[in-house]
Amino acid sequence: MKGNRLELVTIGDELLLGFTIDTNAAHIARALGEIGFEIVRRSTVGDSAGDIAAAVGDALSRTGAVITTGGLGPTSDDLTKASIAELFGRKMVMDENLLREVEARWNRLWPGRHFPAPNRQQAEIPEGAEIIPNAHGSAPGIRLEDDAGRWVAMLPGVPREMRGMLGEQIIPRLKSRAGGTVILSKTLRTAGIGESAIAEVLGANPLDGVPSAAMLALAFLPSALGVDLRVTVRGLLREDSEEILAAAALKLRERIEAYVYGEGDADLAESVLALCRSRRLTVAVAESCTGGMLGQRLTAVPGSSDVFRGGIIAYDNQVKEQLLGVDHATIAENGAVSVETAAAMASGARQRLGASVGIGITGIAGPGGGTAEKPVGTVCVAIDGDGITSARSLRLIGDREEIRQRSAQSALDMLRRALITV
Amino acid sequence: MKGNRLELVTIGDELLLGFTIDTNAAHIARALGEIGFEIVRRSTVGDSAGDIAAAVGDALSRTGAVITTGGLGPTSDDLTKASIAELFGRKMVMDENLLREVEARWNRLWPGRHFPAPNRQQAEIPEGAEIIPNAHGSAPGIRLEDDAGRWVAMLPGVPREMRGMLGEQIIPRLKSRAGGTVILSKTLRTAGIGESAIAEVLGANPLDGVPSAAMLALAFLPSALGVDLRVTVRGLLREDSEEILAAAALKLRERIEAYVYGEGDADLAESVLALCRSRRLTVAVAESCTGGMLGQRLTAVPGSSDVFRGGIIAYDNQVKEQLLGVDHATIAENGAVSVETAAAMASGARQRLGASVGIGITGIAGPGGGTAEKPVGTVCVAIDGDGITSARSLRLIGDREEIRQRSAQSALDMLRRALITV
């Protein structure tokens, strides 16, 4: 193994044909980065013994350390063990202990059914290989090392099994020999400001003054949920990296604090629920173009029931009038997509559901329904509550799904900002 | 180019570090498979000129045909063009036409602002290279071919730009030289039946009797939305492949027709809306544990407003009583999670929103709230309408999000089946 450098070989026709997206690769890279190991190249090959051996051989010649995923199951497609055994010049041998385990597992899952002969293959391992236990499925992992210290760790392709084994078996082994430096990142999540506006607020060298600023990389990651700012540091010790990232986050927050709703995997709905909870507020929603998405976002958070009371999906204008009490005249004069209707919907939801705050969303998500005056992407959001009443008309970009996501996120951000300023 | 075999090299530190999941690779593989080209190996390298050149060089030596994504932008990280030019022994030269286009684009986007010198780099191309127009962004693609006919096509990494250029520029070029055989697949989407039950219904050799059955691969793909069955055929002409896949789909449908709600990317919500539309039915929902997800699913479909009237998100029991008219006694006697409450919610939604059919969902999505009698995953769904009244209690597996997805899907499937049998 050269330094803390590895290669990854992901195996499977499904991956290569594009029927499955390779999420394992990203997971492994992030998990290894956090303990200072770097994937320097990744290859994907199909279920072909020759291609597997060639890719693993190439990778070994470069780094001497390879992790593979996939091809460990019991079927004829599963060629990883045998092809890598051949690459190492090892025979396949039956491991009697493993055979007993595989049979026992079969008998537990299918009591009374005959153990099929082909499944014995699962207990064959390359001579001299080490078995990596799999607490999450039937196919164990395999680790093979040659006299020169070059090694391959073979993990299953099923993400749940792979993740479990990586965390429980591979990471602890690597950690014990880690050289010390790591790859770490920290993400600030923002809403309510675009990528170019945030770049302008931050200026040309936003991290100037942070220790080791030259070792930091800042990425802008826009999505329908807002712009994430990710700072990454590579090649420093964990403790130093964490300190520098904290300083970098602080520096960025100085200029954009109002837009930041959280760090890492933070969810805006969760932030809003926490703000409401601490102020003993309850929330109800009235949704037109989002059709339930805002309620879905809020209820995706476990324990949301102490804040969220429910809502009314008023897709039809009659429903806006009958169930939310929006005046017929409000809609007739201003249109169903207007700040006036959004405000009346928010107020109706608050009153009808007995909540402290109501949120209203009405808009044109497209692809049809736009006009010259109110094109697709015109969305009005409103909040109505004690001292935090507000309504805005927005022009959102993207396809139907993105416009709906931006609508729900904008409404949540409107409430978040109202709450932090009162 | 050897046969219809290519390699793909995806470029970028973000990919290699696992911060971005490589969806481009799967998209390219599927699009090429459909015209009979096969990606035989895929490699991912970081933003390093040496690594890019090495990976592309290795790939060229195997197949003589390589597509790359990423590293074509204007910043110092973008090294693809220059490193591949060096691999081919070509100098970088300024393309004056391209420079004018890049400047013109800048002036359109940022009128009055000075064109920055570093951006001139975008107009530099390897000597003798062909420019692949990019109608979706600023960085054009580049195609380089040597005297031996070995070629590299470089595409940008931004998915929207890459997809546009692949479809408009690369696919048509390849198609004109395609050898004839293709990789095609067909997917049947099922709901309301588990993976092992479907395997049992289909038996050991479900495709027996289909022409060229030995060339077909059948995959079972379970998710929170149900089990997809995908049949893939490789190595035959397009017309033959399509015929065989149609026969295979028919054969599978013979045994599982009742569970199949569509093919390919079919969406169950869309199927249900179409069934309702053809029967002139309107729909309203009453959601507890799904909190709006069912409404969101239905309104994700453009044009759903002629069928979907809206709904009530009754997260709180008071809301179930006050807005849906569920009897206090129904909840007190049977519990909020019961077929009785679900049926009363469905009926309440139908009446209060003036729809022909109401759908009710109430359940325990977890992680908290489970009891011995009603553990996490207990979900009751009901439909209420003229002649199609039904209610069921389900035990669903997965985490909170999966249980909610399975709940919405189960409710939709209940309505679909009721509609196709009346």
Q: Report pLDDT digits (tens) over B63-119.
A: 999 999 999 877 767 899 999 999 999 999 999 999 998 888 878 877 787 887 777
Closest chain A residue to B282 measured between Cα atoms? A316
User: What is the amino acid identity at position A259?
Assistant: Y
A window 340-399, beta carbon within 8 A of B = 352-354, 366-368
Neighbours of B108 (CB within 10 A): 8
ipTM of this complex: 0.85
Closest chain B residue to A54 measured between Cα atoms? B41
Name which of B15, B24, B34, B41 to mutate to probe chain A: the one with the most chain A Cβ atoms within 10 A of its Cβ: B41
| CATH architecture entry for A268-421 | Alpha-Beta Complex (3.90)
Q: Does pLDDT of B312 surpass 70?
A: yes
The pLDDT assigned to A111 comes to 78
Residue B348 pLDDT class (50, 70, 90 cuts): very high
Comparing CA positions, the residue from B292, B378, B381 lying closest to residue B345 is B381
Partner residues linked to B385 by β-bridges: B357
Q: Are A191 and A409 in contact (CB under 8 A)?
A: yes
Q: Are A233 and A244 in contact (CB under 8 A)?
A: yes
Backbone angles phi, psi at B242, to 5 degrees: -65, -40
Extract the tokens encoding B107: 């002036």
pTM for this model (two decimals): 0.86
Comparing CA positions, the residue from A28, A327, A341, A362 lying closest to residue A166 is A28
User: How does pLDDT run across B141-172, given as a tens digit for each residue?
Assistant: 999 999 999 999 999 998 989 999 999 999 99
The pLDDT assigned to B178 comes to 59
As a whole number of angstroms, the distance between CA B391 and CA B394 comes to: 10
Name which of B9, B42, B318 to mutate to probe chain A: the one with the most chain A Cβ atoms within 10 A of its Cβ: B42
Q: Which residue's entry shows tokens 């490789």?
A: B234
Beta strands in B108-170 (DSSP E): 124-126, 130-132, 141-145, 151-155
Q: Does pLDDT of A421 surpass 90?
A: no
The pLDDT assigned to A16 comes to 93
Specify the CATH number of the domain A5-175.
Answer: 3.40.980.10
Residue A179 pLDDT class (50, 70, 90 cuts): low
Q: Does pLDDT of B129 surpass 70?
A: yes
Q: Which residue's entry shows tokens 């049998």?
A: B421
The pLDDT assigned to A135 comes to 86
The pLDDT assigned to A19 comes to 87
Q: Does pLDDT of A75 surpass 80?
A: no
CB contact under 8 A, A291 and B290: no
* CB-closest option in A29, A58, A313 to B313: A313
CB contact under 8 A, A17 and B232: yes
As a whole number of angstroms, the distance between CA A138 and CA A133 comes to: 9
Burial B205-224, CB ≥16 within 10 A → b, else e? ebbeebebbeebeeeeeeeb
Q: For strand B283-287 and strand B357-363, is the pairing parallel, antiparallel, or unpaired?
A: parallel
Residue B221 pLDDT class (50, 70, 90 cuts): confident
Domain boundaries along the sequence of chain B? 5-175, 181-263, 268-421
Output DSSP code: residue B206: T
Residue A380 pLDDT class (50, 70, 90 cuts): very high
Q: State the smallest CA–CA distance between residue B133 and chain A in angstroms.
A: 23
Out of A215-229, A337-351, B175-189, the most confident range is A337-351
User: How does pLDDT run across A161-173, given as a tens digit for each residue?
Assistant: 999 999 999 999 9
Q: Are A225 and A401 in contact (CB under 8 A)?
A: no
Neighbours of B42 (CB within 10 A): 28
User: What is the amino acid identity at position A48?
Assistant: S
* CB-closest option in A45, A293, A309 to B296: A293
The pLDDT assigned to A178 comes to 59
Q: Who wins on pLDDT, A235 or A259?
A: A259
Q: Does pLDDT of B422 surpass 70?
A: no
Interface contact B313, partner A, CB < 8 A: yes
Residue A194 pLDDT class (50, 70, 90 cuts): confident
Q: What angle do CA B298, B301, B305 make, to 5 degrees?
A: 70
Comparing CA positions, the residue from A290, A380, A305, A402 lying closest to residue A335 is A380
Q: Does pLDDT of B179 surpass 70?
A: no
The pLDDT assigned to A260 comes to 97
By CB neighbour count within 10 A (0-12 exposed, 13-18 middle, 19+ buried), where does A347 fall? Answer: buried
Q: For strand B65-69 and strand A283-287, is the pairing parallel, antiparallel, or unpaired?
A: unpaired
The pLDDT assigned to A205 comes to 87
User: How does pLDDT run across A329-365, given as a tens digit for each residue?
Assistant: 999 999 999 999 999 999 999 999 999 999 999 999 9
The pLDDT assigned to B196 comes to 80
Name which of A42, A196, A231, A318 to mutate to probe chain B: the one with the most chain B Cβ atoms within 10 A of its Cβ: A42
* CB-closest option in A16, A21, A40 to B39: A16
Q: For strand B5-11 and strand B151-155, is the pairing parallel, antiparallel, or unpaired?
A: unpaired
| DSSP for A12-38, written as a single string | -HHHHTTSS--HHHHHHHHHHHTTT-E
Q: State the smallest CA–CA distance between residue A1 and chain B in angstroms.
A: 18
Q: Does pLDDT of B1 surpass 70?
A: no
Q: State the smallest CA–CA distance between residue A95 and chain B in angstroms.
A: 29
CB contact under 8 A, B313 and A310: yes
Choose the CATH number for A181-263 among 3.30.70.2860, 3.40.50.2000, 3.30.420.40, 3.40.630.10: 3.30.70.2860
As a whole number of angstroms, the distance between CA B205 and CA A229 comes to: 52
